[in-house]
Every structure is written in structure tokens, then in C-alpha cells.
């Protein structure tokens, strides 16, 4: 158990809809990262937050947004969903920044129909 | 943009054979991390290398960081079925401060 909690585990929704994925980092970790993993694909970095502030942005679509709250949990919002958004979304956390190991949650499997 | 290339994409070996995956960056890295993702699981941190030419071992796994800090390798000696999974390298760019994951090498081990 990595200590990173992601909910929900599975999500099935229709095109055009909006969903919210939630992540609670390991106790004591200040950084939260979101990654997208499509079938047989690598890990595409979306965004990083550190202690409530956006730290780095990757290939995150404008339809996607995220935030980190004062209690350090994070939410990833995906809107106007398309079939191609179907993927496994991982949240990871680390003590500080990317110099420290990332601890991944179990992921949220999103299926857009 | 900066890329971290990982080869091979797939590798099938007989149990007991050795396995190596290579990671190459277009730019200098501050450090490199390795992760393992079992089928149906999430990536799990294995190790971090920081120094030029560094070599670290974990039982049958040997990790190397190149002298120029642009490449790395993971070597598994005498593979076992428990080694099955996808191995990712992740390089921390010295320029951008971003952690870039390679595409991963998926290892299959035939018993």
C-alpha cells in the first residue's frame, strides 16, 4: 500500500460529460502529480501541485483542470469528455518535489462511452 | 521538447535469462528514477541514481547511470516470473526541472 488514495476506482460516463477524480496524498507529502496512462502507453504527465500551488504543467488539455486544497488532497476535473479520454489516471505524491521518489495511487479507470 | 527514450518496448525471455532495458535522454539529467508496474497495478518506485557513473544493486537488479548523465540502464540477472511487468525510467531534466517518464519496457518471462 503506497498510502496514496484515489477515488473512484472505476468511472464510466458518456461523451460530453464532466467527471472529478480525487486523490489523497501520503501523509506528509506536499507534492501531488497527475498522470494519464492509455492502453499500452507510457505515463503522460499532466500537472503537479506543491503545497497548494501549481508547480509544473505537462500535456494537460484545456478541458482538464486540477487543484490542490489546503488539506493537500487534489482533484482532477475532466470536462467535455471524448472517447479518447478513456484511460487510467494516476495520482502520485512525493515529500517535496521531483527530487524525491513518487508514490502512486491505484489509479482511476475512466471509460467514456 | 525533451524526451526520454526507452528501449526495447517489449522483451520476452525464458526464465533464467538476463534482461536489460536502456534509457536515453536528449539532455542532461539531474537524476534518474526507475519504477516497476506489475500488470494491472500501479508504478512502484525502485531506485534513484544521482551521481555520474553511479551503479546500484538490488539483489538481481543492477542500475547504472551514465557518465554524461544522459543515459541509464536496468539489468536483471536470471529473470524469474515475478519480474514480469513494465519497467519505467524517469529522468529529471537539469534544464526544466520536469520529471519525464520513458515509454517503458514490458518484460514477459516464460517459465
Please, what is the average pLDDT of chain A?
94
What does the pLDDT read at residue B2? 65
Whether the Cβ atoms of residue A74 and residue A32 lie closer than 8 Å to each other: yes
User: Is A106 touching B (CB cutoff 8 A)?
Assistant: yes
A14 by Cβ neighbours in 10 Å (0-12 / 13-18 / 19+) ranks as: exposed
pLDDT at B1 over 70: no
Identity of the residue in B48, B102, B104 whose CB atom sits nearest the CB atom of A101: B48
Identity of the residue in B99, B102, B103 whose CB atom sits nearest the CB atom of A98: B99
Whether the Cβ atoms of residue A101 and residue A4 lie closer than 8 Å to each other: no
Q: What is the mean pLDDT of residues A49-77?
A: 95
Taking an 8 Å cut-off on Cβ atoms, the answer to whether B88 and A2 are in contact is: no
Percent of chain A with pLDDT over 90: 87
Using pLDDT thresholds of 50, 70 and 90, give the confidence band for residue B96: confident
Under 8 Å CB-to-CB from A84, ≥6 apart: which residues?
Answer: A112
Q: What is the mean pLDDT of residues A13-42?
A: 94
How far apart are alpha carbons A56 and A31 in whole angstroms? 11
Separation in Å, CA A107 to CA A8, A24, A110, B38: 8, 12, 9, 13
Q: What is the mean pLDDT of residues B89-103?
A: 88
Whether the Cβ atoms of residue A76 and residue A66 lie closer than 8 Å to each other: yes
DSSP chain B: ---EEEE-SEEEEETT--EEEEEEESS-EEEEEEEEE-TTS-EEEEEEE-STT-EEEETTEEEEE-TTSSEEEEEESS--GGG-EEEEEEEEETTT--EEE---EEEEEE-
Taking an 8 Å cut-off on Cβ atoms, the answer to whether B30 and A99 are in contact is: yes
Chain A CB contacts of B43 below 8 Å: 43, 90, 92, 102, 104
Other CB atoms within a 10 A radius of the CB of residue A104 amount to 22
Identity of the residue in B42, B45, B97 whose CB atom sits nearest the CB atom of A105: B42
pLDDT at A40 over 80: no
* Residue A77 region by backbone torsions, left for phi larger than 0, else alpha for psi between -120 and 50, else beta: beta
> Per DSSP, what are the bridge partners of residue A89?
A36, A108
pLDDT at A99 over 90: no
Q: What is the mean pLDDT of residues B75-88?
A: 98
Task: Convert the pLDDT of each residue in B20-39 to its tens digit.
Answer: 999 999 899 999 999 999 99
SS3 (DSSP) at A33: strand
Q: How close B72 gets to chain A, by Cα (Å)?
A: 17
Size of interface A-B (CB pairs under 8 A): 49
Least confident range of A32-36, A67-71, A72-76, A96-100:
A96-100
Amino acid at each position: 500500500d503506497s498510502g496514496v488514495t484515489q477515488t473512484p476506482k472505476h468511472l464510466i460516463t458518456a461523451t460530453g460529460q464532466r467527471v472529478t477524480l480525487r486523490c489523497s496524498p501520503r501523509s506528509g507529502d506536499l507534492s501531488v502529480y497527475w498522470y494519464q496512462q492509455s492502453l499500452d502507453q507510457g505515463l503522460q504527465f499532466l500537472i503537479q501541485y506543491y503545497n497548494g500551488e501549481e508547480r509544473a504543467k505537462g500535456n494537460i488539455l484545456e478541458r482538464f483542470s486540477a487543484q490542490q486544497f489546503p488539506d493537500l488532497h487534489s482533484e482532477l476535473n475532466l470536462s467535455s469528455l471524448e472517447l479518447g479520454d478513456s484511460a487510467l489516471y494516476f495520482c502520485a505524491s512525493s515529500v517535496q518535489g521531483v527530487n524525491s521518489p513518487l508514490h502512486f495511487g491505484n489509479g482511476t479507470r475512466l471509460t467514456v462511452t | 521538447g525533451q524526451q526520454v527514450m526507452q528501449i526495447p518496448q517489449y522483451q520476452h525471455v525464458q526464465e533464467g535469462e538476463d534482461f536489460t532495458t536502456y534509457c536515453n535522454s536528449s539532455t542532461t539529467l539531474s537524476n534518474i528514477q526507475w519504477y516497476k508496474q506489475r500488470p494491472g497495478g500501479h508504478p512502484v518506485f525502485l531506485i534513484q541514481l544521482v551521481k555520474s557513473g553511479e551503479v546500484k544493486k538490488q539483489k538481481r537488479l543492477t542500475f547504472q547511470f551514465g557518465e554524461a548523465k544522459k543515459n541509464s540502464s536496468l539489468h536483471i540477472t536470471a529473470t524469474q516470473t515475478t519480474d514480469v511487468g513494465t519497467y519505467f525510467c524517469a529522468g529529471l531534466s537539469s534544464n526544466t526541472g520536469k520529471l519525464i517518464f520513458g515509454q517503458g519496457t514490458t518484460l514477459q518471462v516464460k517459465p
